[in-house]
Structure 1
Amino acid sequence: MSQTRKKTSSEGETKPQTSIVNKFLRGSKAESRKQNNDLKTTDSQPSDWIQKTVTSETAKPLSSEMELRSSMEKNDQFLQKLGKKAVNRCLDLNNRGLTTADMKEMVALLPFLPDLEELDISWNDFVGGTLHSITQQMHLVSKLKILRLGSCRLTTDDVQALGEALEMIPELEELNLSWNSKVGGNLPLILQKFQKGSKIQMIELVDCSLTSEDGTFLGQLLPMLQSLEVLDLSINRDIVGSLNSIAQGLKSTSNLKVLKLHSCGLSQNCQNIGYQNGILTFFVDAAFRYLGELRKLDLSCNKDLSGGFEDLPAQLVMLKHLQVLDLHQCSLTADDVMSLTQVIPLLSNLQELDLSANKKMGSSSENLLSRLRFLPALKSLVINNCALERETFTALAEASVHLSALEVFNLSWNKCVGGNLKLLLETLKLSMSLQVLRLSSCSLVTDDVALLASVLQMGHLAKLQKLDLSYNDSICDAGWTMFCQNLRFLKELIELDISLRPSNFRDCGQWFRHLLYAVTKLPQITEIGMKRWILPASQEEELECFDQDKKRSIHFDHGGFQ
Structure 2
Amino acid sequence: MEKTDDQNCQDRHEEDNPKSSPFDFVIKQFQGKKCAPEKKKEQPSAIKEFFKGFDFGKSEGKDRREIEETEISNDGADDQSERQDPSVEDGLSHLTSEAKSPSGEQKFNQFMEKLGKKPSSKNLDLNNCALSAADITELASLLPFLPELEELSLSWNGCVGGTLKALTVHLHHVSLLKVLRLNNCRLTAEDVISLGEAFEIVSQLEELDLSWNSNIGGKLSLLTKKLQEGCKLKCLKMTDCNLTAKDGESLAELLNVIPNLEVLDISINKNIGCSMKVIAQDLKNVPGLKELNLHMCGLKQDSFQGLDTALQHLVELRKLDISCNREIGGGFKASTAHLASLKNLEVLDLHQCCVTEEDMTVLSEAALHLPELEILNLSWNKCVGGNLKLLLGALKLATEIQVLRLSSCNLVAEDLALLTSLRQDGHLARLQKLDLSYNNNISDEGWAVFCQGLGAFKELSELDVSLSPSSCRDCRPWFGELLAALTQLPALAELAMQRWALSESQRKQMEGFNQDNKRNIRFDC
Give me the TM-score of the superposition, normalised by structure 1: 0.71
Q: Which stretches in structure 1 are left out of the alignment for 5+ residues?
A: 1-109, 120-129, 269-277
Counterparts of residues 297-312 of structure 1 (less than 5 Å): 297-312=264-279
Distance in 1, matches of 2:184 and 2:448, equals 47
- Give yes or no for contact 2:146–2:174 (8 Å, CA) kept in 1: no
Q: Which residue of 2 aligns with 1:27?
A: none
SS of residue in 1 equivalent to 2:197: helix
Within the candidate set 316, 320, 323, 2:287 is matched to 320
- Give yes or no for contact 2:148–2:174 (8 Å, CA) kept in 1: no
* Pair 186,517 (structure 1): closer, same or farther in 2 beyond 3 Å: same
Would you say 1:282 and 2:229 are equivalent positions?
A: no
Distance in 1, matches of 2:374 and 2:139, equals 42
SS of residue in 1 equivalent to 2:327: helix
Q: Which residue of 1 aligns with 2:445?
A: 478
Q: How far does the alpha carbon of each residue in 1:46-88 deviate from its partner, in whole angstroms, 9 at most, with x for none?
A: xxxxxxxxxxxxxxxxxxxxxxxxxxxxxxxxxxxxxxxxxxx
- Give yes or no for contact 1:357–1:386 (8 Å, CA) kept in 2: yes
Counterparts of residues 21-36 of structure 1 (less than 5 Å): none
Would you say 1:446 and 2:423 are equivalent positions?
A: no
SS of residue in 2 equivalent to 1:360: coil
Q: Which residue of 2 aligns with 1:262?
A: 239
Q: Which residue of 1 aligns with 2:198?
A: 221
Pick which of 253-262 and 172-181 moved more: 253-262
Q: Which residue of 1 aligns with 2:220?
A: 243
Distance in 2, matches of 1:373 and 1:258, equals 25
Q: How far does the alpha carbon of each residue in 1:167-209 deviate from its partner, in whole angstroms, 9 at most, with x for none?
A: 2111000001000000000111123211177000000000000
- Give yes or no for contact 2:347–2:373 (8 Å, CA) kept in 1: yes
Counterparts of residues 380-395 of structure 1 (less than 5 Å): 380-395=347-362
Distance in 2, matches of 1:501 and 1:346, equals 41
Distance in 2, matches of 1:247 and 1:398, equals 39
Q: Which residue of 2 aligns with 1:62?
A: none
Which residue type is aligned with residue 376 of structure 2? F
Which residue type is aligned with residue 449 of structure 1? L
Q: Which residue of 1 aligns with 2:524?
A: 559
- Give yes or no for contact 1:281–1:313 (8 Å, CA) kept in 2: no
Q: Which residue of 1 aligns with 2:497?
A: 530
SS of residue in 2 equivalent to 1:353: strand
* Pair 282,546 (structure 1): closer, same or farther in 2 beyond 3 Å: closer
Distance in 2, matches of 1:170 and 1:196, equals 6
Distance in 1, matches of 2:193 and 2:404, equals 43
Q: Which residue of 2 aligns with 1:194?
A: 171
Distance in 2, matches of 1:421 and 1:294, equals 36
SS of residue in 2 equivalent to 1:486: helix
Q: How far does the alpha carbon of each residue in 1:340-365 deviate from its partner, in whole angstroms, 9 at most, with x for none?
A: 12112321000000000000000223
* Pair 364,246 (structure 1): closer, same or farther in 2 beyond 3 Å: same
Distance in 1, matches of 2:512 and 2:215, equals 57
Which residue type is aligned with residue 347 of structure 2? S
Structure 1 residue 544 displacement after superposition = 4.2
- Paired-residue identity, %: 41
Which residue type is aligned with residue 323 of structure 1? K
Counterparts of residues 12-23 of structure 1 (less than 5 Å): none
Distance in 2, matches of 1:213 and 1:545, equals 60
Q: Which residue of 1 aligns with 2:304?
A: 337
* Pair 506,288 (structure 1): closer, same or farther in 2 beyond 3 Å: same
Distance in 1, matches of 2:333 and 2:437, equals 26
Q: Which residue of 2 aligns with 1:396?
A: 363
- Give yes or no for contact 1:147–1:176 (8 Å, CA) kept in 2: yes
Would you say 1:150 and 2:127 are equivalent positions?
A: yes
SS of residue in 1 equivalent to 2:172: coil
Q: Which residue of 1 aligns with 2:385?
A: 418
SS of residue in 2 equivalent to 1:378: coil
- Give yes or no for contact 1:132–1:158 (8 Å, CA) kept in 2: no
* Pair 541,239 (structure 1): closer, same or farther in 2 beyond 3 Å: closer
Q: Which residue of 2 aligns with 1:361?
A: 328
Distance in 2, matches of 1:303 and 1:547, equals 43
Counterparts of residues 91-240 of structure 1 (less than 5 Å): 131=111, 134=114, 144-195=121-172, 198-240=175-217
- Give yes or no for contact 2:151–2:180 (8 Å, CA) kept in 1: yes
Pick which of 382-391 and 370-379 moved more: 370-379
